[in-house]
Amino acid sequence: MIQTKCFGEWLEIIIPSKWEGHSINDLFRDVWQAPKKQIHTIRMEKHVKINGEVINWNKPLKAGDRIQLKLFIEEEFGVIPAYHEVDVLYEDEHMMVFNKPANMDTHPNSPEQTNTLANAAAFYLQAKGEQRKIKHVHRLDRDTTGAILFAKHSLAGTILDKMLEERSIKRTYAALVHGRINKKKGTIQEPIGRDRHHPTRRRVSASGLPAITHYELLEYSLMQDFSLIHCQLDTGRTHQIRVHLSSIGHPIVGDQLYGGEPLFERQALHARKLVIPHPFTDERIVVEDSLPLPFQHLLKK
């Protein structure tokens, strides 16, 4: 684990032995993989110090050196703060995970929209006296509930975006599907593209983008003929889980767009768990939510 501490606007990191010999430039370019424009801005504004001093960015670092990064700067939120009742599942100085309710978009589609999770996140930070330009790292469909990761400053956003792209961040979803899934574990590997006959629907298509969904059977309700499963994604296509499960004959309960019966007020899909390598400390952050009560009630009917 890499040692860090925060003071005011600055984050201090004790250089670990694995970074010895790297320069500041190496850290931003190779370790954190920040874009050139972001690196240039940080460099020009002198937002990096080593042992309290501004030094040459190409000078090799030594284990035990202290690098200070000016990260916690007041910025416009980027959205209008608006109060909504949402649960915080995890938070530190760099990121936070919210439990998104049903019937809520992840972010606004127009500047004046205020009924999204991003608006709620901005209000939450404003109430704490933190004015940050927050950024969602991934999204959920409007009717899907559960854990969504936000970055609280731009460098954390850059690192977390890259982790998501490289699949270092693991996402687990709980779903109630029709029928009994016979295999305890399985993988659906079918490309997904747009449905030419419907404005929002996707479908398995040979000309679509590659998509991989892993699933595991947790429980089967004989009375309801429902299977409770966990899904993990290797890709993040729109409606991926919904399309893939429908394609194998097990649509999600309530997901009428993809063949589910209207036995639930929405698709019974919940983002239950996130495993996140911490962007600065290398800790393995595990954020897990319990199975929603409506799912439990539906299984027990």
Residues known to be catalytic? 141
Nearest to 201 by CA among 136, 265, 267: 267
Burial zone of 95 (CB within 10 Å; 0-12 exposed, 13-18 middle, 19+ buried): buried
| Burial of 91 (C-beta count, 10 Å sphere; 0-12/13-18/19+) | middle
Q: Which two tokens stand for residue 168?
A: 């270092």
Catalogue the E-assigned strands of 23-101.
48-50, 66-70, 87-91, 95-100
Q: Are 250 and 179 in contact (CB under 8 A)?
A: yes
Instruction: Identify whether the C-beta of residue 250 lies closer than 8 Å to the C-beta of residue 181.
Output: yes
Tokens for 215?
Answer: 């699933």
User: 30: burial class by Cβ within 10 Å (0-12, 13-18, 19+)?
Assistant: exposed
Residue 16 to residues 85, 107, 169, Cα–Cα distance (Å): 41, 37, 23
Residue pointed to by tokens 């004046």: 112
